[in-house]
Amino acid sequence: MSLSQGRSYLAIPGPSVMPDRVLSAMHRAAPNIYEGELHRVTASLMPDLRTLAGTRAHVAMYITNGHGSWEAAVSNVFSPGDRALVLSTGRFALGWAKSARARGVETEILDFGNRATIDIARLAEALQADKAHAIKAVAMVQTDTSTSVRNDVQAVRAALDAEGHPALLLVDCICSMGCDRFEMDAWGVDVVVSASQKGLMTPPGLGFVWFSDKAAEAQKSAACVTDYWDWAPRAAPEEYWQYWCGTAPTHHVYGLRAALDMILEEGLSHVWDRHATLARAYWAAFEAWGAEGPVELNIADPALRSHAVTAVRIGSPHGTALRDWVRENCGVTLGIGLGMAPMGDPAWHGFFRVGHMGHLNAHMVLGTIGAIEAGLTALKLPHGKGGLDAAAAVISGA
Ligand SMILES: *Cc1c(COP(=O)(O)O)cnc(C)c1O
């Protein structure tokens, strides 16, 4: 007998759960794109997007996803033949590298593997070796969604400063924006990218690029920039169409407005705290189950774990078996493992991820943990006792 009727829950790391308030805001007739309310609502997004990223600098919006946001940032920063340094802690940093190489940027990757954060000593060495300051930008992710590591942006900034290196600092916050604390100006970040479908609780389709004055200056000589990706008119449009370089993503504008209202009404630091506590509930459950048997958190050090996503190792084929079981029997869909083993390789089935970003509360987390515990039991996978108890203890102590 399946117990999966009722409202299903997509607990993958994006797209995340869309709040009813966001969906209702989008459920309307097409607005006029030439004048009126849409123009006012669009303009109102800009200061709130700046607040979200902790910046007084600039923000540009795009009709795109995360991949487009990378391309937007790269196009505005580089000229062909420039050099970039990418700090890889999983599959997502490689998106920076792929996009940069496709624009003719000479891109060096420092690879820190799938279970660790950035080794600052190795970064310092690479910066010292660049005596001529040829590296134009250093690119990283705050949270790598494949490994669920959360990197220390301030430590990378400090390394650049310690070496007196003038490179721009580019940070992918697609997974972490609105989930983990991020302060663009205080942390000295030059370019930030994000997208609508994760912590920002809005359907996929909007990309964002925030950029500092230093990056704006550098952009003036960046030869990769195209008409469509050019961030300058989008960030300071003289006419409405320039926000989008064409027709506005009308319904997304209303959806994002509702999502930002929800975040700001709750308070950004409360939103971060909520994500931290709900993440700790997941970790407590996984650690209890992991006391016996194959369940293991991919990132051992809690200080390096994302508050938006958790990657779990469980051995093949148990990852796929467990995902199938909880979806078919409990109506919860967990995320596939990503970047840990090649697709098609039997090892690929040994991982899964849980997204815990955005529109999320304690009962969704406890329900998912209960479903996973039931799955471990049903599949006769050895596991430590008390996962759900451990999670409930975190929630009750919050
Ligand atoms: C989801 C994600 C991306 C890719 O976004 P798409 O919308 O799928 O293109 C890039 N980086 C990070 C950190 C992500 O979490």
Q: Which residue matches tokens 């796929």?
A: 320
Please state, in angstroms and rounded to a whole number, the distance separating the CA atoms of residues 144 and 70: 14
Q: Is the minimum distance from the CB of 195 to ligand 1 under 6 angstroms?
A: yes
The closest of 71, 99, 65 to 249, measured between CA atoms, is 65
Same domain, 101 and 135: yes
- The tokens for 24 are 């209702």
**What does pLDDT average to over the chain?**
97
Of the candidates 210, 230, 264, which is a domain's last residue?
264
**Could you tell me which residues come within 8 angstroms of residue 175 by beta carbon, excluding any fewer than 6 positions away?**
13, 14, 92, 141, 142, 143, 144, 145, 198, 199, 306, 308, 309, 357
Same domain, 244 and 129: yes
Residue 18: per-residue pLDDT: 97
Which DSSP symbol is given to 181? -
Establish if 23 belongs to a structural domain. no
Cα-Cα-Cα-Cα torsion 151, 153, 158, 161, nearest 10 degrees, comes to 130
Reduced to 3 states, what is the DSSP secondary structure of residue 296? strand
Same domain, 38 and 171: yes
Give the total residue count for the chain. Answer: 398
C-alpha 131 to ligand 1 mean position (Å): 33
Q: Is the minimum distance from the CB of 208 to ligand 1 under 6 angstroms?
A: no
Beta bridge partners of 206: 63
The closest of 217, 307, 200 to 264, measured between CA atoms, is 200
- Pocket test of ligand 1: the residue of 175, 200, 307 to mutate, having most ligand atoms within 8 Å of its CB, is 175
Does the structure show a pLDDT above 90 at 291? yes
Establish if 2 belongs to a structural domain. no
Same domain, 94 and 142: yes
Q: Is the minimum distance from the CB of 175 to ligand 1 under 6 angstroms?
A: yes
C-alpha 368 to ligand 1 mean position (Å): 23
Going by pLDDT thresholds of 50, 70 and 90, the confidence category of residue 312 is very high
Nearest CA to ligand 1 atom 6: 66
C-alpha 175 to ligand 1 mean position (Å): 7
Same domain, 259 and 290: no
Specify the pTM. 0.98
Establish if 64 belongs to a structural domain. yes
C-alpha 112 to ligand 1 mean position (Å): 19
Going by pLDDT thresholds of 50, 70 and 90, the confidence category of residue 367 is very high
Q: Which residue matches tokens 């300051």?
A: 133
Of the candidates 264, 293, 328, which is a domain's last residue?
264
Can you give the CATH number for the domain in which 127 is found? Answer: 3.40.640.10
Mean pLDDT of 152-176: 98
Question: Domain limits at 250?
Answer: 31-264
Nearest CA to ligand 1 atom 12: 174
Same domain, 227 and 117: yes
Query: Which of ligand 1's atoms lies nearest the C-alpha of 309?
Result: 15
Can you give the CATH number for the domain in which 354 is found? Answer: 3.90.1150.10
Establish if 278 belongs to a structural domain. yes
Same domain, 344 and 217: no
Same domain, 240 and 287: no
Residue 398: per-residue pLDDT: 80
Establish if 24 belongs to a structural domain. no
Q: Is the minimum distance from the CB of 141 to ligand 1 under 6 angstroms?
A: yes
Same domain, 369 and 328: yes
C-alpha 21 to ligand 1 mean position (Å): 24
Of the candidates 249, 264, 279, which is a domain's last residue?
264
Same domain, 254 and 143: yes
C-alpha 322 to ligand 1 mean position (Å): 24
State the Rg of the chain over Cα.
21
* SS3 of 45-63: HHHHHHHHHCCCCEEEEEE
Half-sphere exposure of residue 374, counting CA atoms within 13 Å on the CB side? 18
Q: Is the minimum distance from the CB of 66 to ligand 1 under 6 angstroms?
A: yes
Establish if 337 belongs to a structural domain. yes
- Pocket test of ligand 1: the residue of 145, 150, 182 to mutate, having most ligand atoms within 8 Å of its CB, is 145
Please state, in angstroms and rounded to a whole number, the distance separating the CA atoms of residues 360 and 341: 29
Same domain, 255 and 374: no
Establish if 284 belongs to a structural domain. yes
Beta bridge partners of 208: 61, 194
* Number of domains observed in the structure of the chain: 2
Going by pLDDT thresholds of 50, 70 and 90, the confidence category of residue 171 is very high
pLDDT in tens, 182-193: 999 999 999 999
Does the structure show a pLDDT above 90 at 1? no
Alpha carbon distances (Å) from 106 to 13, 63, 134, 152: 31, 28, 10, 25
Same domain, 246 and 278: no
Going by pLDDT thresholds of 50, 70 and 90, the confidence category of residue 53 is very high
Query: Which of ligand 1's atoms lies nearest the C-alpha of 92?
Result: 11
Residue 13: per-residue pLDDT: 98
**Count of Cβ atoms closer than 10 Å to residue 159 Cβ:** 20
Establish if 1 belongs to a structural domain. no
Query: Which of ligand 1's atoms lies nearest the C-alpha of 68?
Result: 9
Q: Is the minimum distance from the CB of 180 to ligand 1 under 6 angstroms?
A: no
